[in-house]
Structure 1
Amino acid sequence: MPAQQRADARRNYARILAVAEEEVATQGADASLEQIARTAGVGSATVRRHFPTRRALLEAVSHKRIDALCARARELAGRPGDGRSALLDWLSEVVAYCASIRGLAAALASDGAGPDSPHDNGCTAALEEAGAPLLHRAVRDGAVASEVTFTDLITLIVGIALATEHEPDPAPRAERLFRLTVAGLSPHD
């Protein structure tokens, strides 16, 4: 029965995703697809049918968190005021998410297609769509250099998150590195 297969497929997808969320939370982006399949009670081919690439799995696992970050970007973009502060507040939240939720940085990482090429993953595309107005406003206000791209910002965030992911409490270190990146290395007068 085709209707029954669709229902089974939906149940398998939900079960695989729930198991994958737990595995990625504990093992990070390199969580075993075979272990996910075993724990979900499906074959590895079923996992691959629903998630043909590791990136597809990481995107699905990160979907709710990405949606929350996008909503926050839209909220900040709708507020009047300092464009730089709005951008930095949002980027700080993205850093905190990436540092505290294993696998999210890997979901945002560049695919190596080039420094300014469009990303072929939904997570980065969604963040860019939501965050671009914040960047554009900060550039328009003269608070951020015009040559700064959204890809630059995501690359910095991913680098910070990956550099701190094995620390016992990565979030404070990631936030410190982010603030250092924003402030630069020069002492303040």
Structure 2
Amino acid sequence: MRADARDNRARILTAADEVFGQSPTASTDAVAKLAGVGIATVFRHFPTKTDLLEAVLTQRLERLRHQALTLAAGENAGRAFYAFFSQVVAESAAKLAIGEALTSAGFAGGEDARKAAVGLREAFGSLLAEAQRIGAVRRDAGLPEVYALLIGASRGATARNLDPEVRNRMLGLVYAGLRPAA
């Protein structure tokens, strides 16, 4: 891919992330306008709106995967684990809206999105294991349960449109259950 085409694709994805994060029913024209490209350029890179939505979702999942891996290798995995958990819940509305827009369009999930979702789960597992290793998360909390808590908290915060203060109190309760007994 030529450098200008790569730049256009990156600008389109950045714009689409912003536009669809606010309203997944927004038009690809709005994406093109924000990206500073013509609609034909958008469709050259992403033949359908569904392709563009999937690319945005995949990019979000990949960004989170990379962040979780970086945090797992960092100095304070305990603090990083809880901060990452909070961030995912706080940002979940846009991701879930994009996922629901794909589902309502009859999209069952492409290979890229599936790989990105699996990669995120594995990276979160690495962050969890590191937080457990240093004693910040109880050792009997398995990845399946903790990941289910992450998804449940994300969906709950989004479905109820929780005020940030209420969301933080809810997360405090979740974290109290994840911390080792004193």
Q: TM-score, length-normalised on structure 1?
A: 0.59
Corresponding residue of 1:82: none
Q: When the two structures are aligned, how many residues end up with a matched partner?
A: 161
Output the amino acid matched with 1:155. Answer: A
- Relative distance call for 1:107 and 1:94 in structure 2 (3 A) is farther
- Unmatched segments (≥5 aa) in structure 2: none
TM-score (norm 2): 0.61
Which of 160, 174, 179 is the matching residue for 1:181? 174
Cα gap change, 1:182 to 1:167, in 2 (>3 Å): same
Structure 2 CA distance for partners of 1:164 and 1:130, relative to 1, 3 Å:
closer
Q: Percent identity?
A: 20
Q: For residues 128 and 47 of structure 1, what CA distance do their matches in structure 2 show? A: 29
Contact 2:20 2:94 in 1 (8 A): yes
Task: Provide the C-alpha distance between the structure 2 equivalents of 1:20 and 1:182, rounded to a whole number of angstroms.
Answer: 33
Pairwise CA distance, 1:14: 1.8
**Contact kept in structure 1, 2:89 and 2:154, CA below 8 Å:** yes
Root-mean-square deviation over aligned CA pairs: 4.2
Q: Is the 8 A contact 1:58 1:107 kept in 2?
A: yes
The code of the aligned residue for 1:100 comes to A
Mapped contact 1:16–1:36 kept (Cα < 8 A): yes
1:124-174 Cα offsets, whole Å, 9 max, x none, are 51452364264277279793326x22x43233212212222363643x433
Name 1:116's counterpart in structure 2. none
Find the partner of 1:42 among 35, 39, 43. Answer: 39
Distance 1:124 1:168 in 2: 28
